[in-house]
Structure 1
Amino acid sequence: MDNELIQGLQERINILLKDPLLNDISEKQSLQDIDTLIAIEQGHAYRIQVDRNPLDPVYVVVRQASTVQQLKKLIRLELERMEPQNKHVSWKYIWRSYCLILQGQRLIDDKAVMSQLGIRQNSVLRFSRLGHQKGQHRKAWYWYR
């Protein structure tokens, strides 16, 4: 009985994999990846591009209710997946020194929600060096603190 159930399930999976509407889904995608694709199709998530001139851009998918902090984590995970390195990248240093920019607006508030910032499908974010405004310098950051 279990063998028949497994064969029936395998046949249904093969039928789904051959469906032309599902040709952008590979066999190795996880359930979370499929949920993300469904959210994009339903309009609950956005596929955005993070421009890293002169390097290749990074593409991430964020939900409407995601925060900037969650976006930063997705960028970190995607970069680690794209470019596995032996050397350590200090993300704390990167986010202290750089910020993301959307249409000239700096995304500094980590608790801001994506949908309220004006991020839409296929938006392009850029990395920008954080400059200091006059009279608002931070104190030096030392390793021994």
Structure 2
Amino acid sequence: MEIRKASSADVDGVFALVEQLSDTYEVDRASFDAAYADALKDPDHSVLLVAEVDGRVAGYALMIVSRLLYTRVDSAQIQELIVDEALRGQGIGSRLVAAVEDICIQRGLNQLTVASSRTPAFYDRLDYRSTADFLKKVFFSHRD
């Protein structure tokens, strides 16, 4: 397994992983392509990593970096972490999180946060602790 920065060549593999969320989210290829291009465009504020297994994308992590008003240095948040359903339980997600953490340490970031409603036990095992509730208000749905 190799963890590396994503490239434009990984777009189809990452999209295939996003499609695994279609039971929860409407997946639109044009919107995805625009968001993917944005994620690659500004590596200072957006880090997209992929896990490659046997020549294919098996997982990815998207981290956003920003300056919060109350911190002295930048902060980061894992926005998305998806591992292929068929390959879960093999350490791919843990390796992606470790790679994100390494980038945070190299950049001298103050903190790394993650909001997770589906897999809090996964993050508990990686020594993440709940410090706040994550609340969401939906204004409209893209589902027809």
Structure possessing the higher radius of gyration over alpha carbons: 1
TM-score, normalization: structure 1?
Answer: 0.29
Task: Identify the structure with the greater strand proportion.
Answer: 2
Task: Identify the structure with the greater helix proportion.
Answer: 1
TM-score, normalization: structure 2?
Answer: 0.29
Q: Tell me: higher relative CO, structure 1 or 2? Use CA pairs within 8 A at least 6 residues apart.
A: 1
